[in-house]
Structure 1
Amino acid sequence: MAAKSKKASEGSQVLREAIAKLMEGRDLSREESRLVMREIMEKKATDAQISAYLVALRMKGETVDEVTGSAEAFAHTGQMEIQDANVVDICGTGGDNLHTFNISTTAAFVAAGAGVTVAKHGHRSVSSRCGSADLLQALGVNINVPRERVKECLNTIGIGFFFDPKFHKAWHYALGPRQEIGARTIFNIMGPLTNPARIRRQVIGVYDPTLMPLIARVMKELGAKHVMVVHGSDGLDEITITGPTRTFELFDGEIKEYEINPEDYQLSISDLQYIQSHSCNENVRYLQRVLDGEHGPARDVVLLNAGAAIKVSGKAKDLQGGIRMAVESIESGAAKEKVQKLIELSNRH
């Protein structure tokens, strides 16, 4: 027992060297970054080392190689093959501190109702009031299911949820340090890049516009097929309705930059306050009202984001077509039905 405590107190030499290098303002290589993340995943690093590493990396600024290498550390852990090769994820990095309701989670059900297979993954709240896991649990979804049940959800009802700490141990081991730091770290960036379903089609919202070209390039390095990286002009890590949304789109190996304007899709510009939430219970009410067909800013922002997910899935040729399919998903009741089916299947004994 004493020997084990001594070993734990020594921590990781790999982390020690990486922290020293970062504190000198030097970049880590792709391989070094992969090794650091493996050390965290294998519980070889202390909480103090994890905290120091995350802060030092954030202060220096993450590079494409550092993020790619970190994401690659997850490549052979907990991944699974899904029947639908065009499976999609829609998520934000979090960390925008704007306290909106769970737009991407609501949009995931709408996209699923339109026939898109959606592999949602996430965690409990770190920098927001209600993470995707918190919302789903409040709805009655069992998030602590084994991998085979998640796979069954994806293959039979077209939507499933990977609870990150369950599928990626690094999230679990780093959760304490992340919560204590309370600031955005590489884990916010990496969240969308490490979906266990081998995602190649994705809508990724980011809190910081300077991260957009980085994430688009990282996704290209990781072999993605069709990705939209988005950042609202209000700072939202989703496609926003308060103004334009800057977009980096990766398709067929090429990256192009443009803006999405709600008014171009017959959606009204709205104030941020109409999509903000102060609790998980309020988030649940937002989701229910949108899926019940209530019109307004919450519905509009969900349509934009679900439309983007439908577009990258290949089921719509453009965003306008994706939005039309999203409207039909809500109005037909298909999106709402996906919620009920996920609750039922995730809780089945």
Structure 2
Amino acid sequence: MKQLLYRLFEHNCLDRQEACNVLLRMARGEYNESQIAAFITVFLMRSITIDELAGFRDALLEMRVPVDLAEYDAIDIVGTGGDNKNTFNISTAACFVVAGAGYNVVKHGNYGSTSVSGASNVIEAHGVKFTRDADVMRRSLDACHMAYLHAQFFNPALKAVAPVRKALGVRTFFNMLGPLVNPTLPRRQLLGVYNLKLGRLYDYLYQQSGIDFTIVNSLDGYDEISLTSEFKYFDNCGEGVFSPEDLGFVRAGECDLFGGATVAEAAAIFDRVLAGTATRAQTDAVIANAAFAIHTIDRTLPLSDCIAAARESIVGGKAERALKKFIEINS
């Protein structure tokens, strides 16, 4: 690691195999926390290259605990995190809205490292026990169209670096990797990123992978469709920009999406959204993200129909029923 750090400090980059090897060694416990922190810090000082990101991804996928849920043809809905906005769990709520609308979702998530409540925090707050058991996931998908994979159960490297990430409290390249290493390797993904440069990096990787994808970034820095500003999207067909008004939504303010100071507060907002009792801004943000996920699954549907389906999932109580059934099966 010492020689590697000297190279990186001199502004050299890793090739794909070198990046893969260093993460494999990290997962095997060959580096101490100070060395890991120094390595991570390099990538806070400069942008990650495509080869480095691909190599890190190769390592995580090589070490992953694989799960075969291909028969469900599901989508993952995920944000990179690291936008420093401390929103409530918009992407996770959108998963249950999409599931309530009848589409299969395999959500890959983790505890928050740069926010109060990550996906695993809010899921666990409902009494859910994380599992590696594929049969439990199949029962969950059959009953409510939703399965959850806690990243640390399936990616040992993520568990190895979790204390360092939490202690640093800032976004790192591991935020970028999470969406790339869902152990089920879903064919579809809605991904939120915190800036356009990162969006283009993912766009390049996904175009090579053959999956159906949509990448979204709110231009004021949210890693999801926040409806607080215009937002950019990239997908298999191209790219574009929408304003909230273009899609019939009212523009929100940053304070409207605040996730609270504790996991309990974030979970309460999450529950109110799925119960249909949240504020308009909170509900609309979730509907917008769920709608783009539905559109990723079925490109033939107009966005207006996707928005209507997402809204009906909440208004008709289907999203809340999906959550309750999910908790029942996974607790």
TM-score (norm 2): 0.93
Asked if residue 339 in structure 1 is aligned to residue 308 in structure 2, the reply is no
Residue 285 in structure 1 maps to residue 268 in structure 2: yes
Matches within 5 A, 1:287-326: 287-294=270-277, 296-314=280-298, 317-326=301-310
Give the 3 Å change call, closer, same or farther, for CA 115–240 of structure 1 in structure 2. same
CA distance in structure 2 between the aligned counterparts of 1:228 and 1:242, rounded to whole angstroms: 19
Structure 1 Cα separation of the partners of residues 23 and 187 of structure 2: 22
Contact 2:70 2:184 in 1 (8 A): no
In the superposition, relative to structure 1, how do residues 316 and 46 fare at CA in structure 2: closer, same or farther (>3 Å)?
farther
Map of 1:261 onto structure 2: 243
Q: Distance in 2 between matches of 1:57 and 1:118?
A: 31
Aligned pair count reads 328
Distance 1:272 1:88 in 2: 28
Deviations 1:8-41 (A, max 9, x none): xxxxxxx444323221111111111111121122
Kept after mapping to 2: 8 A contact 1:81/1:197 = yes
Distance 1:157 1:84, change over 3 A: farther
1:11: which partner in 2?
Answer: none
Residues 57 and 275 (structure 1 numbering): CA distance in 2 closer, same or farther, change over 3 Å?
closer
Report if the CA contact (8 A) 1:103-1:302 is conserved: yes
Amino acid of the structure 2 residue aligned with 1:52: A
Distance 2:191 2:207 in 1: 13
Secondary structure class of the residue paired with 1:119:
strand
Deviation at 1:142, TM superposition (A): 1.8
**Does residue 96 of structure 2 align to residue 109 of structure 1?**
yes
- Residue 333 and residue 215 in structure 1: after superposition, are their counterparts in 2 closer, same or farther (change >3 A)? same
1:215-238 Cα offsets, whole Å, 9 max, x none, are 1112233x1422111111221110
> Residue 245 and residue 84 in structure 1: after superposition, are their counterparts in 2 closer, same or farther (change >3 A)?
farther
Q: Does 1:178 align with 2:165?
A: yes
Query: Where does residue 144 of structure 2 map in the other structure?
Result: 157
Q: Is 2:217 aligned against 1:234?
A: no
The one-letter code sitting in structure 1 at the alignment partner of 2:43 is L
* Structure 2 residues not aligned, in runs of 5+: none
Amino acid at match of 1:297: A
1:5 corresponds to which residue?
none
Mapping for residues 63-212 of structure 1, pairs under 5 Å: 63-76=49-62, 77-84=64-71, 86-144=73-131, 146-212=133-199
**Structure 1: runs of 5 or more not aligned:** 1-14
SS in 1 for 2:114: coil
CA distance in 2, matches of 1:151, 1:27: 42
Q: Partners in 2 of 1:282 and 1:273 — Cα distance? A: 14
Moved more, 69-78 or 305-314: 69-78
**How has the CA–CA distance of structure 1 residues 96 and 113 changed in structure 2, closer, same or farther, with 3 Å as cutoff?**
same
Match of 2:146, as an amino acid? Answer: I
Are the aligned partners of 1:67 and 1:218 in contact in 2 as well (CA < 8 Å)? no
Per-residue deviation, 1:74: 2.3
The residue identity in structure 1 corresponding to 2:104 is: T
User: CA contact under 8 A between 2:72 and 2:104: conserved in structure 1?
Assistant: no
The letter for the 2-side match of 1:288 is D
CA distance in 2, matches of 1:205, 1:52: 27
How far off is 1:200 after superposition? Answer: 2.4
Residue type of the partner of 1:99?
A: N
Q: Among 206, 212, 216, which residue is 1:219 paired with?
A: 206
The answer (yes or no) to whether the contact 1:86–1:313 under 8 Å persists in 2 is no
Query: For 1:36-85, what per-residue CA distance to the aligned partner results, in whole angstroms no more than 9, with x for missing partners?
Result: 12112222222222111111133121011111111121224212221445
Q: 2:255 aligns with which of 244, 252, 273?
A: 273
CA RMSD of aligned residues (A): 1.8
Q: Percent identity?
A: 31
| Alpha-carbon separation, structure 2, partners of 1:106 and 1:134 | 13
* Equivalent position SS for 1:78: coil
Task: Provide the TM-score with structure 1 as the length reference.
Answer: 0.88
Shift of 1:124: 1.1
Residues 82, 154 of structure 1: 8 Å contact kept: no
- Tell me how far apart the structure 1 counterparts of residues 58 and 302 of structure 2 sit (CA, whole Å): 31
CA contact (8 A) 1:91 1:203 kept: yes
Q: How does 1:1-16 map to 2 (within 5 A)?
A: 15-16=1-2
Structure 1 CA distance, aligned partners of 2:48 and 2:70? 34
Q: Distance in 2 between matches of 1:239 and 1:106?
A: 13
Does 2:8 match 1:26? no
